[in-house]
Every structure is written in C-alpha cells, then in structure tokens.
Amino acid sequence: MKLNLAQWGNKLHSGEKTYPIVQQRKRWFIVSGVLVALSLLLLFTKGLNPGIDFVGGTEFRVTDTAITEPAEAQDVVAELAPEATARVTILGDSDVRIQIGVVDTETARDITTALADAYDVPEEQVSFTQIGPTWGASVGKAAVTSLIVFLVLVTIVMSLYFRAWRMAVAALVALAHDLIITAGVYALVGFEVTPASVIGFLTILGYSLYDTVVVFDKIRENTANLTAQHRYTYDELANLGLNQTLVRSINTSVVALLPVSAILFIGSFLLGAGTLKDISLALFVGMAVGTYSSIFVATPVEVQLRDNEQRIKDHTAKVLELRAAGQTDVAISETGDVRVGAVDKGRHQGAAAQPTRKNRKA
C-alpha cells in the first residue's frame, strides 16, 4: 500500500519507518569522496573561468541592436586586438556583451567605433568599461577573505551553540564538500566566476549550514539523556533524528529549488538572461548538494567522530551486551534494522474502560 507524504513523514518521525543512513555511512563517504575527487580534478586540470572583475579587462556592451551574432564582435576584436580573446554573451534579444583582456584606452575607443559599425547602431549605444588587474586582484582577495571569515564565524557559532566541537567539524566538512563540488561544476560547464557567483557560493553555504543545524538540533534532543538509557546506541538515536527531519529537508529543498530552476533554465537558457547564469548556477547546484550533504555527509561524519569518544564506546558496548543477553526489547524493522522510538497503535478498550462520573444534582 502506498503512503502519501504526510503518512510517510509521520512514520519517519515516530520511528515506525526508518532508513539506515547513519549505519550505511561508508557508502555515502565513498560517493562523496568520488564527487569531491572529480571536482578537484576538474579544478586542477580545466580550472575556473574568472570574470574580468577578478583578473581585469575591458567590457563592451552594445544595446538595442537587431544583429546579435557573436561572430561580428569576434571579427572586430581579432582585427584590432589580435592578442585578446573575445568572450561574447547575448543579453536578452537586443544586447551584446563583449569581454576581452586589458587594452589601452585608444584601442578600446577604436573597438567601440568598429562595434557600432558591425552591429549597425550609433556609437552612443556602445559603451566600454575598463577594470585594471590591480582592482581585479583586490576583488578576488576580498572574496577569499569573506569566505575565510564566514567559515571562522561558523566554527565559533556552532561550537558555542552545540557545545560540541565534533558537530562544528562535521558542519565544516559538509560546507567544504558543497563548495568544492559546486566549484567543480563551474569548471565543468565553463561559466564565468563573477562577484555574483561569490554571493551565490556564500548563500548556498548559509543554506547548507541552516539545514545541518536543524538536523543536529534534533540529534542533540534525542541524545540529551543518552547514558540514562541502555536500549539504543548513539548511532541509532542520531539516525532517528536524521529520519525525523528528512521530510522537512526534502520539502525545503524542493521549495527553494523551484524558483532557482526557473531562473537558471527558463530565464538564462531560454530567454537569454545571461547575467543571471552565474548566480543561478551556484544556487541550483549548491542547494542540491547542500541538501545531500546535510543528510548523507554532516550527520554521518558527526557520528563517526562521536564513535571515537570513550563515553560513547562504553555506552554502545553496554547496549549491545544487554541486547545480546535479551535484557532489552527493541523493535526490528523489515530490513532487520533497529527501529528506534517505534510506537504501537492504540487499542480502544470500550466504554467500560472509561472513567465513571458521579451523578450531579441540578
């Protein structure tokens, strides 16, 4: 019998249905390791494609033109600045953006005039902006500094909030996982890395962190009195918390990905809104990977670190010892896994079992 989403969520929250995500963490570590390795390979071989905001250069923009062929701009640049490579982007239906390396002002003006002739527009409809390499380097440095400050603050806040450095480390591992894979996708598709991309990277890190904190908060709630009971191990209670927040993670991700998907696939590719591609790609990939990492990376890493703690080792050994001796009763799922927190369906005992009330006088 198929379950609807509400019934599925209720069964996950009660523990009646559970997925052994934590218990199968080696599988997820292998998947994530392969994805990270492929992303690093792309970054070291193909590399990122930084925009002129980071490396410096000259940007020309032709507006309200009936001709939107990239070849026109490429021919002009090849003739007047043969050492430069033109990167042409069509913006909407009537704008063209051309980016090249740093050229002197005189050459830039000659290219402006030639572009006006090539695209059959007045010269006033062709503008150019020059960004020096020093300015680009300072922008890149500021972006790296922002990322480092963000990670430091995350470490401090997570450690203070959860009072557990292992959760802070697990969250940082998940964030690094998301950042590397998103950057690898950028290297694969060759999109320009612009300041908007950096904003997108920081946004997805915040999104991933929020999702991870929600899961960790539930795990902390479930394991608050861990040593006071000897029915379930830390791994099993952490897995329960992960399953209890699974539906929420999926719902949040779907709601967040729908508008981003519209921007990326409809706005950027179909309508030609090229300026949105850099940030929308970062948001789309980052949110998808962030949802994956909060479920399959952050919590398994935290549990792996916890299992090395002597207190957790002793408690787990005691639980397994009592369980083997038959001194604890636990529910077992259809797959043979321990079903934590499962509840039995209530039975109605009839009217005879209800409390009686004395007759009241009017």
For residue 74, what is the domain's CATH number? Answer: 3.30.460.30
Query: Could you tell me if 139 and 123 lie in one domain?
Result: no
Which tokens is 106 given? 């005189």
What per-residue confidence (pLDDT) applies to 28?
95
Last residue of a domain, one of 107, 131, 155: 131
Per the structure, the complete domain to which residue 104 belongs is given by: 57-131
Q: How far apart are CA 100 and CA 56, in angstroms?
A: 9
Type of residue found at 106: E
Instruction: Give which of 147, 189, 157 is closest to 48, Cα–Cα.
Output: 189
> Which pLDDT score is estimated for 204?
82
Question: Which tokens sit at 230?
Answer: 């000897």
Local confidence pLDDT in tens for the 362 residues of the chain: 455 767 777 778 777 788 889 999 999 999 999 999 999 999 999 888 887 777 778 888 988 888 888 888 888 888 888 888 888 877 777 888 888 888 888 888 889 999 989 888 888 888 888 877 676 677 778 778 888 888 888 888 878 887 778 888 998 999 999 999 999 998 898 877 887 788 888 888 888 888 888 899 999 998 988 888 888 899 999 999 999 998 888 888 888 888 888 777 776 555 555 556 777 888 888 888 988 998 999 999 999 999 999 999 999 999 888 888 877 777 766 666 777 764 344 434 444 434 455 555 54
Are residues 158 and 276 located together in one domain of the fold? yes
- 160 and 244 part of one domain: yes
**pLDDT of 205:** 82
- pLDDT, residue 335, reads 63
Residue 67 token pair: 């001709």
Is 262 domain-assigned? yes
Q: Are residues 154 and 90 in the same domain?
A: no
149, part of any domain: yes
Q: What is the pLDDT of residue 147?
A: 80
Angstrom distance (rounded) from CA 35 to CA 113: 47
Element (H, E) at 130: strand 126-131
Q: Report pLDDT for 347.
A: 39
H helices of the chain, in order, are: 5-14, 25-45, 52-55, 70-80, 105-118, 133-162, 165-189, 195-222, 234-244, 246-261, 277-293, 299-306, 310-324
Same domain, 198 and 309: yes
Same domain for 239 and 92: no
| Count of structural domains, the chain | 2
Burial 63-94 (b: 16+ CB within 10 A, else e): bebeebeeebbbebbeebbeebebbbbebeeb
Last residue of a domain, one of 78, 102, 131: 131
| Separation CA 257–CA 237 (nearest Å) | 30
Q: Give the end of a domain, one of 86, 109, 131.
A: 131
- Please tell me what DSSP assigns to residue 51: -
Q: Are residues 145 and 271 in the same domain?
A: yes
Tell me the CA distances in angstroms from 53 to 50, 109, 136, 183, 358, one per residue in order: 8, 20, 5, 17, 83
DSSP reduced 3-state for 58: strand
pLDDT attached to residue 271? 54
pLDDT for 18: 82
Domain membership of residue 348 (yes or no) is no
pLDDT value, residue 59 = 87
Q: Is residue 159, in this structure, part of any structural domain at all?
A: yes
DSSP summary character for residue 328? S
Give the domain CATH number at 273. Answer: 1.20.1640.10
Predicted local distance difference test score (pLDDT) of residue 346: 42
Distance, in Å, from the CA atom of 32 to the CA atom of 170, rounded to the nearest integer, reads 14
Residue 38 lies in a domain: yes
Is 297 part of any domain? yes
Instruction: Kindly state whether residue 278 falls inside one of the protein's structural domains.
Output: yes
Same-domain pairing of 196 and 226: yes
Can you tell me the distance from the alpha carbon of 287 to that of 253, in angstroms, rounded to the nearest whole number? 7
Q: 143 and 125 in one domain?
A: no
- How many whole angstroms separate alpha carbon 129 and alpha carbon 127? 7
Q: Looking at residue 274, what is its pLDDT?
A: 55
Strands 126-131 and 192-193, by their bridges, are unpaired
> How far is residue 261's CA from residue 284's CA, in Å, rounded to a whole number?
7
Distance, in Å, from the CA atom of 99 to the CA atom of 93, rounded to the nearest integer, reads 18
Between CA 291 and CA 246 the distance in angstroms is 10
Does 22 fall in a domain?
Answer: no
Task: Kindly state whether residues 284 and 256 are assigned to the same domain.
Answer: yes
Beta-carbon contacts of residue 121 (< 8 Å; ≥ 6 apart): 62, 63, 64, 65
Query: Do residue 263 and residue 194 come from a single domain?
Result: yes
Write the CA distances from 163 to 78, 168, 236, integer angstroms: 60, 9, 21
Residue with tokens 């962030």: 290
Same-domain check for residues 72 and 171: no
